């Protein structure tokens, strides 16, 4: 019963409420309340602070989230080893990636991985915003740039080269920028991460990184939409090489200011620091690492 109560506790945290967690698990509200109380009695600590509108984790609750995930992952892995044998992996993997990267690069890798491991299922979240890995129960996230959250661990997958792009139609009408300072005269498509606008674009000028603030009449929190607008000739966009690789090859986009290309950032695999990754997640991490290691050979 302890394992079932731990699973219920995690579902409550992920869904943000007792009622919705109970509905998803087919439990009556009174049963959910009783089982949460039993879990708090077992550990001798209050795990959640509840109001009429929300729940928040106590310090003990936050500690149990990490511990519960580890306990349940180990129990599930042990069961899978007994039922399926040591060579097979099984179970669900919850993965989060940026939207364009997911569509253009990650989904084909996941398809190949799942073809090899038929007992594995994947729950994929495509989002360009900030995702709460612990709160949403996500095993692994792919993110660009340096890790700043000390509660997370990360492993570098690959350098990410960013390219300034435009469609041939846009350039024919508006001209070709020759220097980053020319961007002030162009309509630049800006992506937004949560409430933060990514409108300070960096370029390498005379061996130094220089930042130029751009502006335009289109802003979106969806990288795929930014790319589509760029292909349609709506403006310039600064995109990851993976997002626009096919468009460049097909001539739908043109790479600009290559002599001023910004320094690459990195694509990271990020996961909660205190979590013991299940074998299936470790297998996917290795599969992703191998896939990106051969990227330069396939472009």
Q: SS3 for the chain, per residue?
A: CHHHHHHHHHHHHHHCCHHHHHHHHCCCHHHHHHHHHHHHHHHCCCCEEECCCCEEECHHHHHHHHHHHHHHHHHHHHHHHHHHCCCCCCEEEEEEECHHHHHHHHHHHHHHHHHHCCCEEEEEEECCCCCCCCCCCCCEEEEECCCCCCCEEEEEEEEECEEEEECHHHHHHHCCCCCHHHHHHCCECEEEECCEEECEEEEEECCEEEEEECCCCCEECCHHHHHHHHHCCCCEEEEEHHHHHHHHHHCCCEEECHHHCCCCEEEEEEEECCCCCCHHHHHHHHHHHHHHHCHHHHC
| Number of domains, the chain | 3
Q: How confident is the model at residue 174 (pLDDT cuts 50, 70, 90)?
A: very high
Instruction: State yes or no: pLDDT of 248 exceeds 90.
Output: yes
CATH of the domain at 8: 1.10.10.10
Listed residues 82, 105, 130: the one ending a domain = 82
Same domain, 56 and 183: no
The predicted model gives 201-230 an average pLDDT of 93
Same domain, 31 and 171: no
Same domain, 147 and 276: yes
Same domain, 209 and 127: no
* Containing structural domain, residue 31: 1-82
Listed residues 56, 82, 108: the one ending a domain = 82
Listed residues 82, 116, 131: the one ending a domain = 82
Instruction: State yes or no: pLDDT of 84 exceeds 70.
Output: no
Pick 236 or 70 by higher pLDDT. Answer: 236
Same domain, 236 and 168: yes
Q: What integer pLDDT is reported at residue 81 of this predicted model?
A: 65
Q: What integer pLDDT is reported at residue 147 of this predicted model?
A: 67
Instruction: State yes or no: pLDDT of 65 exceeds 90.
Output: no
Is the pTM of the predicted complex or chain greater than 0.75? no
CATH of the domain at 147: 3.40.190.10
Same domain, 175 and 52: no
Same domain, 114 and 179: no
Q: What integer pLDDT is reported at residue 61 of this predicted model?
A: 82
Same domain, 115 and 204: no
The fraction of the chain above a pLDDT of 70, given in percent, is 92
Same domain, 274 and 255: no
Contact between 295 and 158 under an 8 Å Cβ cutoff? The reply is: yes
Q: What integer pLDDT is reported at residue 149 of this predicted model?
A: 67
Q: What integer pLDDT is reported at residue 73 of this predicted model?
A: 72
Same domain, 236 and 212: yes
Same domain, 284 and 210: no
Same domain, 127 and 247: no
């Amino acid at each position: 019963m302890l394992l079932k109560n731990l699973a219920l506790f995690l579902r409550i945290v992920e869904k943000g409420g007792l009622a919705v967690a109970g509905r998803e698990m087919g439990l009556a509200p009174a049963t959910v309340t009783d089982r949460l109380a039993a879990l708090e009695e077992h550990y001798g600590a209050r795990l959640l602070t509840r109001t009429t509108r929300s729940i928040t984790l106590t310090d003990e609750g936050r500690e149990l989230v990490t511990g519960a995930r580890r306990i349940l992952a180990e129990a599930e892995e042990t069961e899978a080893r007994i039922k399926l044998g040591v060579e097979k992996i099984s179970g669900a993997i919850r993965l989060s990636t940026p939207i364009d990267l997911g569509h253009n690069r990650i989904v084909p890798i996941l398809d190949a991985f799942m073809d090899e491991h038929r007992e594995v299922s994947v729950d994929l979240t495509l989002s360009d915003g900030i995702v709460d890995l612990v709160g949403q129960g996500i095993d692994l996230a792919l993110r660009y740039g340096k890790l700043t959250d000390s509660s997370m661990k990360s492993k570098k997958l690959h350098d990410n080269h960013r390219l300034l792009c435009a469609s041939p139609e846009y350039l024919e009408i508006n001209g070709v920028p020759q220097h980053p300072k020319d961007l002030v005269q162009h309509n630049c498509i800006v992506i937004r991460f949560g409430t933060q606008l990514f409108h300070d674009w960096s370029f390498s000028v005379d061996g130094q990184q220089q930042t130029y603030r751009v502006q335009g009449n289109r802003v979106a929190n969806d990288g795929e939409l930014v790319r589509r607008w760029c292909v349609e000739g709506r403006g310039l966009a600064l995109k990851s090489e993976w997002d626009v690789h096919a468009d460049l090859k097909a001539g739908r986009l043109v790479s600009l200011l290559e002599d001023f290309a910004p320094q690459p950032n990195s694509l990271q695999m990020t996961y909660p620091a205190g979590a013991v990754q299940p074998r299936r997640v470790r297998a996917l991490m290795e599969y992703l690492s191998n896939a990106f290691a051969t990227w330069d050979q396939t472009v």
